């Protein structure tokens, strides 16, 4: 399958999502198609949505100004290595952190841990994503805690584990979070196998580990 054909399939998928009223697609449409920018989620899902609109989304997400520009730039065939191999290759995994107050949680990740709030969804918001450099995870609001806090503390049950590029950067990060008075579950420590890590607590008690892996 050519790269352009893959883009065409992506555009058709956006049309299907809109037709099926998938709630996650409204935010994407609002961000990438200007005529939807001022609409609510319901208004977007109620409005006509054409294949050309979906193609505009695909083009902009791929870094092009228009679908026509994407068509001119997209290679007509996949790379030889991709065509030759059908072995599944997993790219990444993203954690989901459960909180009881998403506004409080995202403010903590932004103001205390230095993350950017990529988006929040819902009215009022109940789902979102935060990111800092290459680290990202989703945040989901729930009505009550899903894990007993005493068990979590005792068993050191992590919600997110984040790798830091070097030991020196990890130490600097630990010092900066200490200065910001971020609640610590575990201070900076060296492990017997050579790794270094520390663990912070968010307002809901979720344990977030920052670590440097000696063999990474």
Which of 158-162's residues contact partners 24+ apart within 8 Å by CB, and which partners? Answer: 158/199, 158/207, 158/208, 158/209, 159/95, 159/97, 159/98, 159/202, 159/206, 159/207, 159/208, 160/95, 160/97, 160/206, 160/208, 160/209, 161/209, 161/211, 162/135, 162/208, 162/209, 162/210, 162/211
pLDDT for 86: 66
pLDDT for 74: 67
> Which residues contact residue 142 at a Cβ distance below 8 angstroms, ignoring those fewer than 6 apart?
98, 99, 100
pLDDT profile of the chain (216 residues), mean per 10: 79 90 86 91 92 92 86 63 61 86 96 92 88 90 87 91 94 95 94 91 95 84
Residue 6's alpha-carbon distances to 1, 56, 70, 80, in angstroms, are: 7, 14, 12, 16
Q: What is the pLDDT of residues 163-215, one digit of tens each?
A: 999 999 999 999 999 999 999 999 999 988 889 999 999 999 999 999 998 87
Q: List the chain domain ranges.
A: 3-76, 96-212
CATH number of the domain located at residue range(s) 96-212 in this protein: 3.10.180.10
pLDDT for 80: 52
H/E element, 119: strand 116-122
């Amino acid at each position: 399958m050519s790269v352009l054909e893959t883009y065409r399939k992506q555009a058709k998928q956006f049309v299907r999502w809109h037709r099926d009223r998938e709630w996650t697609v409204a935010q994407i449409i609002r961000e990438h198609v200007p005529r939807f920018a001022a609409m609510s989620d319901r208004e977007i899902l109620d409005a006509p949505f054409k294949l050309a609109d979906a193609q505009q989304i695909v083009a902009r997400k791929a870094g092009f100004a228009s679908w026509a520009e994407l068509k001119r730039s997209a290679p007509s065939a996949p790379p030889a290595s991709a065509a030759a191999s059908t072995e599944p290759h997993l790219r990444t995994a993203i954690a989901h952190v459960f909180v009881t107050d998403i506004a409080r949680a995202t403010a903590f990740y932004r103001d205390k841990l230095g993350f950017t709030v990529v988006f929040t969804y819902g009215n009022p918001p109940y789902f979102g994503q935060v990111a800092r450099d290459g680290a990202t995870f989703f945040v989901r609001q729930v009505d009550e805690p899903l894990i007993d806090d005493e068990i979590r503390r005792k068993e050191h049950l992590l919600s997110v584990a984040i790798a830091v590029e070097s030991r020196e950067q990890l130490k600097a990060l630990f010092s900066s979070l200490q200065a910001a008075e971020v609640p610590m579950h575990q201070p900076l420590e060296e492990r017997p196998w050579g790794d270094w890590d520390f663990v912070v607590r968010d307002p809901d008690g979720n344990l977030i580990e920052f670590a440097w892996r000696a063999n990474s």
